[in-house]
Amino acid sequence: MVCRCCNNEVTPVSNGLNNTGIIILVLTVLFCIPLVWLPFVMDSCKKKVCPSCGQEIL
Ligand SMILES: [Zn+2]
């Protein structure tokens, strides 16, 4: 994966939830507390950060 910020070929590191993850987290808290772990295991909900420059990789 190439970082758009520093143009290095990097392996992104996971760092918390992205916007999608936060929305799903809020929805599960409101409507379905037992599924609150869901966004934390879904890869599409995780924020991916460049280990080189620290910018989020989309
Ligand atoms: Zn970078």
* 6 phi, psi to nearest 5 deg: -110, 0
Instruction: List residues, by chain if needed, whose CB lies under 5 Å from ion ligand 1.
Output: 3, 5-6, 50, 52-53
What percent of the chain is modeled with pLDDT above 90?
88
User: What is the rounded distance in angstroms from the CA atom of residue 35 to the CA atom of residue 52?
Assistant: 34
pLDDT of residue 58: 78
* pLDDT of 15 strictly over 90: no
What percent of the chain is modeled with pLDDT above 70?
100
In contact, 33 and 22? CB cutoff 8 Å: no
Residue 29: in which H helix or E strand, if any?
Answer: helix 19-31
* pLDDT of 11 strictly over 90: yes
Average pLDDT over residues 38-49: 93
pLDDT of residue 36: 95
How many angstroms does the Cα of residue 9 sit away from the middle of ligand 1? 8
Pairing of β 46-49 and β 13-17:
antiparallel
